[in-house]
Amino acid sequence: MSRFEPILLRNLGVPNATDLTVYRSRGGYQAFEKTLRMTPDEVVQEVRAADLRGRGGAGFPAGVKWGFLPKDRTITYLCVNADESEPPTFSNRVLIETDPHQLLEGILIAGFATRATAAYIYMRNEFAEQFHILQHALDQAYAAGLFGHHIQGSGWSMECYIHRGAGAYICGEETGLIESIEGKRGWPRIKPPFPAVAGLFGKPTVVNNVETLCCLPHIMQRGASWFTGIGPKGSSGPKLFCISGPVNRPGCYEATMDITVRDLIYHRDFGQGMQNEKFVKGVYPGGLSMGVLTGEELDMRMDFDDPQRYGLLGLGTAAAVVIDEDTDVRQVLLNVARFFAKESCGQCTQCREGTGWMYKIAQRIADGAGRLQDLDILSEVTQSMGMMPGLSICGLSDGAAYAIRTLVEKFRREFEQHIRNQKPGNVERALNVVN
């Protein structure tokens, strides 16, 4: 694991770091001033050269995403995804509450590069304190002429608004987010058209995550080659990692993406080991929707490529939740299945019905009335839902599939043992209730 100076969290702990004067005294907005001396295309090329991959979950290159915008567009919108509803993720919250001007500077750079006329920060409603912090920073930026008309004498204008959502997991998907900003139910849209062509209010739109945008000031200030020199190839740049559960020091930490899950749990700079020296039974390393690791798979690197070797969907939000040896896997299954069943928007039949029935099966298993064939049913259902089989509008059902399938397959022996130890007659009584 590489060691390096804090970058995204460099202002963490600095007194009054949320204030514009303090941010500027530490080099803030110098990268934006440098950006204004370039052309938008030059900025896009610099970000592409840096190979900045999205930090929101999918890991798609930001510069490539910007390149999908039509060349002849006259109006462009920038949507900032600050919904952060993937359990157990809280890195965006930390960035907003400790260094809001870093985010605003990233928004200005992205807005200039994409020739955006307005930026909408979509923030989950639970972020009450963070909203006021960010709104105060935005007011300061407006007063300093950093947003609005003819910014810094450049001839380019962009407004910025904070839009508070209602706390729906599905609005973390970019088209669900766009629908919510437009005042509609936060349902993902059928694609194509993609947001780059017809997004917010039917106009070309870019959607970027908070952490992704916070990388931009550092790329523009120090250069693409500096950014690609941090961490492993294909997973370059600083990254924030969350860790929660029964570890000695849960929190949000910054590292390079050659860090392993074991490092995140046990290293003195991060989780500092397990409470009461318990063993690790499992870890969801990238948020629930990426899938689970066993305690024997902790050497997985937290980069964009290594998770697939362990049967996971990807790195996701790089937010790890640790499960200790005393945790009943039936309760883990129940909690995971309940979450996805409650958060499915219901548009796609196999997601609506599939997550609902998986939750019912998980309830039966948790109540001591499971059947061995229920484990086969869960695995079979997860193979036939999602975008990758081409059946879903968005990726929620893929997330549900990986979260549940990896848990059932990797801990099947434990599930089977629980089922074999059930009291006689439980299954018949449970099935009579269902029927």
Query: Confidence band (pLDDT; 50, 70, 90) for 21?
Result: very high
- Residue 144 belongs to a domain: yes
- For 319, the 3-state DSSP assignment is strand
Is there a single domain that holds both residue 336 and residue 257? no
- Residue 40 — pLDDT band, cuts 50, 70, 90? very high
* Ordered strands of the 118-123 beta sheet: 159-164, 118-123, 77-82, 205-209
Name which of 378, 240, 382, 254 is nearest 319 in CA terms.
Answer: 240
Which structure tokens are listed for 367? Answer: 């109540």
Q: Does 137 share its domain with 285? A: no
5 lies in some domain:
no
Which CATH number covers residue 344?
1.20.1440.230
pLDDT at 386: 76
Same domain, 186 and 256: no
- Does 24 share its domain with 69? yes
Give the model's pLDDT for residue 2.
62
Q: Is the pLDDT of residue 397 over 80?
A: yes
Mean pLDDT of 343-370: 94
| Averaged pLDDT, 163-192 | 93
Residues 195 and 60 reside in one and the same domain: yes
Residue-range definition of the domain harbouring residue 147: 20-228
- Same domain? For 265 and 336 the reply is no
Last-in-domain residue among 228, 255, 288 = 228
Q: Which amino acid is at 177?
A: L
Is residue 285 in some structural domain? yes
Out of 197, 228, 259, a domain closes at: 228
Q: Is the pLDDT of residue 127 over 80?
A: yes
Tokens read off for 313: 């969907």
Looking at per-residue pLDDT, the higher value among 427 and 295 belongs to: 295
Work out the pLDDT band at 432, boundaries 50, 70, 90. low
Residues 207 and 107 in one domain: yes
Q: What's residue 5's pLDDT?
A: 83
Total number of domains in the chain: 3
Co-location of 306 and 333 in the same domain: no
Domain end point (choices 324, 356, 383): 324
Same domain? For 282 and 334 the reply is no
Q: Indicate whether 195 and 75 sit together in one domain.
A: yes
- Indicate the pTM of the whole model: 0.94
- Which pair of structure tokens corresponds to residue 35? 């950006």
For the stretch 310-322, what's the b/e string if a residue is b when 16 or more beta carbons lie within 10 angstroms of its beta carbon?
Answer: bebbbbbbbbbbb
CATH number at residue 112: 3.40.50.11540
